[in-house]
Structure 1
Amino acid sequence: MPACLNDYDFGAIAREIFSDENKRNGRSMDDILRQVIVAWNGSDKLSGAIVKFPGAPDMYDHERCAYGAGPQEGFELILPTAHTLAKAADGYIVPTSACFEPVAVPYCRELYKKSGQELFAVGMQTRALCGQDSAPVALTNETLKLFLGNAVATYGANSVLYISFGSLFFPTTTPQLIDALVNTLLNLAKPFPFVLALGGKMAALPKELIERVNSSGKGLVCDFWVEQRAVLQHPAVGWFLTHGGFNSISESLAEGVPLIIWPVAAEQPVNAAFLSSGPDPAAFELLQIRTGPQLGPSLRGGPKITGTVEDAAAEFRATFEDARGAKGATLSANAIKLAGVLRETAVGEASEEIIRLAKF
């Protein structure tokens, strides 16, 4: 993620466009800045250009932009300031490591050396990996505890799909696709029990849908606080459907739980592409849930992205079938293996980086 702060000077690009009456075209500075940040290609428009991230698959510029959470107010202020700070900083502290990003970490380290800056890759900073509170976390909500306990008894261990879009995001621009997700799960011939946590301020479902899920015996909508780490540690849970934010990714992989990623904002599309590719993927990436300029072909292949309810529902069904088949078993094994590597790194490579930082 720090590399994006050096790709382009968003503020300078926006100021140059704003200063030209023809390029400005009646827009405010904030509007232009927002469009420059969304395009993320040195201009204020998506062009279909191929962009590269070290270690992640190449993609079109529109593929790395997510629109599911709607306009992200404040990003147009944060990122230009962050770019200014990045140029002046002595270095970067990043919550990752070369074992997790074997291409990106060395690449960024060499990139920053050229400008006299240091990179400290201190590893994923989750409590499970940092040795604090390493004992399992207890669930405090009795309804959730009962649902997960019944799922283990009825369907076995690792049978539950946990769904959460984090504390900051939710697919607010495509409520019809959230409905399709829930209805697909409720109508599967082979039940895939699920817990859907409404944890963020943007997260909401119609009351009728919540009542239908909670009365079905197949799912539980939690419109109350959920201890995410406790859920991911529970023996009932085998999959995590997430927006792909780095905090959620870290918590899931620290527990060895594979992912189904529905990116909705920020760097999440890049995270989804990275984790679902390579020799040892640990995630499925959903594509038909995309909207706006993301519709159309993907550079990574597959069917044309339409964003329709019908195609999204078909992708949900196929993904859930694969998750409980041979491909899902492979992704699960990769996630468990990665959890072990991350724990070793926390007391090895990452610990050494923290010591190097302390002496810097």
Structure 2
Amino acid sequence: MGSACKTLLWWSCPASSMLHLSEYDFAGIAEEIYADPSRRDGRSLEEIVQQVVEASNGTDKLSGSVITLPGAPDMYDHERQAYAAGRPLAGFVTQGQKLAGAVDGFIVTTSRCLEPVGVPSCREFYAKRGQELFAVGIQPDELYWMDSVAVAPSDERVRAFLDRAVGEYGLESVLYISFGSFFFPVATPQLVEALVDTLLTLEYPFPFIFSLGGQMASLPADLVKRVSASGKGLICDFWVEQRALLQHGAVGWFLTHGGFNSVCESLTQGIPLIIWPVGAEQPINAAFLSAEPNPMAIELFQVRTGPQLGPSLHSNAEITGTVQVASEEFRAAFAAARGARGAILQANAKKMALSLREERVGEASEEVRRLINF
């Protein structure tokens, strides 16, 4: 179509997670290491690429170096990648980098009210590379905004559980759990079981719906039976309309992997988050959404595995990944969610829902018009 045709890359993650993928040329670093026999150390190029991507610090080794990301707390380099769903897909990342270097700009489905530091920082960074950034905001259908007409979940079991929870425990009493369509902490099934066991043994019940929406997601049959017999939870091994469920007045919290689609669907409804990162940019999302001065999430740390075990800079915790310590963290998180801390996070999430809607017809709309004229 000629050089006048503009090409743009759609980035459906926070702007703050873009920069660590743009700071270094991972493929170029790996090729340089591979070309030196002393640095190659018998590894294949593919192995080196994998290690360079996992380090994401300009080398092929995690070193405990401090990483600074716009709008998120500083963290050690080993905290930036999650391994609960497996190792990062290095080939996907390097091909994405190649594409990102060739386009004229980026469309990001975020907004400055959500990322007051991340959006301007990314816009400045890419402008220096001759690329534009369009932050078009969060754009769901009008039905899915907080004060719209609610769309009820279609499954009778889900509706009945939610309606019963309102009667027994009140509005915003239910915890919704989902790790999305593409992720699940398959590397730590013992911690997923510990999560459910903790919910079943709380002194004051925290009713929950656990959606097993992805192909990787599963729970032991005996645990599913325990949940069903308890009356405290509902395991959904069938499709659940997540946005409709989040609109129901019974739901007050969302325990999620921190994928940005789920984050957006929750925040447009003013529902705060408990985040268990399992892959991709999710550790970064968890860090910036739980950071002061206006946190909207509780970040879980003791659920991590692999290279993430060890010291955490932004939590001052030593991450062990054991069932005992993770169970203690679950209990502390649930107590916080239903206490004074939770009230602050709920208020912040509700304010954000209003801000996102206002920005949709404000600055985000201006960004869409700017994109049209690009």
TM-score after normalising by structure 2 = 0.92
State whether structure 2 residue 361 is matched by structure 1 residue 322: no
Asked if the contact 1:167–1:201 (Cα under 8 Å) also holds between the matched residues in 2, the reply is yes
State whether structure 2 residue 69 is matched by structure 1 residue 46: no
Please tell me the residue identity of whatever aligns with 2:123: R
Residue 22 of structure 2 is matched in structure 1 by 6
Residue 366 of structure 2 is matched in structure 1 by 352
**Shift of residue 296 of structure 1?**
1.6
Once superposed, what is the RMSD of the aligned Cα atoms? 1.5
Give 1:273's match in structure 2, choosing from 255, 263, 287.
287
Q: Which runs of 4+ in 1 moved over 3 A?
A: 128-131
**Shift of residue 349 of structure 1?**
0.7
C-alpha distance in 1 between matches for 2:268 and 2:144: 10
Asked if the contact 2:143–2:151 (Cα under 8 Å) also holds between the matched residues in 1, the reply is no
Give 1:117's match in structure 2, choosing from 111, 116, 131.
131
C-alpha distance in 2 between matches for 1:239 and 1:130: 17
The 1:257/1:130 distance shift into structure 2, 3 A limit, reads closer
C-alpha distance in 2 between matches for 1:153 and 1:63: 42
Asked if the contact 1:239–1:260 (Cα under 8 Å) also holds between the matched residues in 2, the reply is yes
State whether structure 2 residue 143 is matched by structure 1 residue 103: no
Structure 1, gaps ≥5 residues long: none
Residues 54-133 of structure 1 correspond to what in structure 2 (within 5 A)?
A: 54-72=70-88, 75-128=89-142
SS at match of 1:300: coil
**Shift of residue 128 of structure 1?**
4.5
**Shift of residue 194 of structure 1?**
0.4
Asked if the contact 2:175–2:253 (Cα under 8 Å) also holds between the matched residues in 1, the reply is yes
SS at match of 2:318: coil
Residues 213-252 of structure 1 correspond to what in structure 2 (within 5 A)?
A: 213-252=227-266
Please tell me the residue identity of whatever aligns with 1:64: R
**Shift of residue 129 of structure 1?**
8.3
**Shift of residue 104 of structure 1?**
1.0
Asked if the contact 1:123–1:350 (Cα under 8 Å) also holds between the matched residues in 2, the reply is yes
Asked if the contact 2:183–2:214 (Cα under 8 Å) also holds between the matched residues in 1, the reply is yes
Please tell me the residue identity of whatever aligns with 2:184: F
Give 1:262's match in structure 2, choosing from 266, 276, 298.
276
Residues 264-343 of structure 1 correspond to what in structure 2 (within 5 A)?
A: 264-343=278-357
Give 2:203's match in structure 1, choosing from 178, 184, 189.
189
**Shift of residue 338 of structure 1?**
0.4
**Shift of residue 301 of structure 1?**
3.6
C-alpha distance in 1 between matches for 2:308 and 2:322: 12
C-alpha distance in 1 between matches for 2:28 and 2:148: 46
Asked if the contact 1:129–1:342 (Cα under 8 Å) also holds between the matched residues in 2, the reply is no
Asked if the contact 1:260–1:283 (Cα under 8 Å) also holds between the matched residues in 2, the reply is yes
Please tell me the residue identity of whatever aligns with 2:190: Q
The 1:350/1:292 distance shift into structure 2, 3 A limit, reads same
Post-superposition Cα deviations, 1:200-246, rounded to whole Å, max 9, x if no partner, equal 11111111111111121000100000000011001110000000010
Asked if the contact 2:289–2:296 (Cα under 8 Å) also holds between the matched residues in 1, the reply is yes
Post-superposition Cα deviations, 1:176-217, rounded to whole Å, max 9, x if no partner, equal 100110000000000000000000111111111111111210
Asked if the contact 2:143–2:149 (Cα under 8 Å) also holds between the matched residues in 1, the reply is no
C-alpha distance in 1 between matches for 2:274 and 2:193: 17
**Shift of residue 19 of structure 1?**
2.0
Please tell me the residue identity of whatever aligns with 2:277: P
C-alpha distance in 2 between matches for 1:296 and 1:197: 30
Residue 31 of structure 2 is matched in structure 1 by 15
**Shift of residue 134 of structure 1?**
5.2
The 1:283/1:128 distance shift into structure 2, 3 A limit, reads farther
State whether structure 2 residue 170 is matched by structure 1 residue 156: yes
Post-superposition Cα deviations, 1:45-72, rounded to whole Å, max 9, x if no partner, equal 1100000100100000011111110124
TM-score after normalising by structure 1 = 0.96
Give 1:211's match in structure 2, choosing from 225, 231, 242.
225
Residue 194 of structure 2 is matched in structure 1 by 180
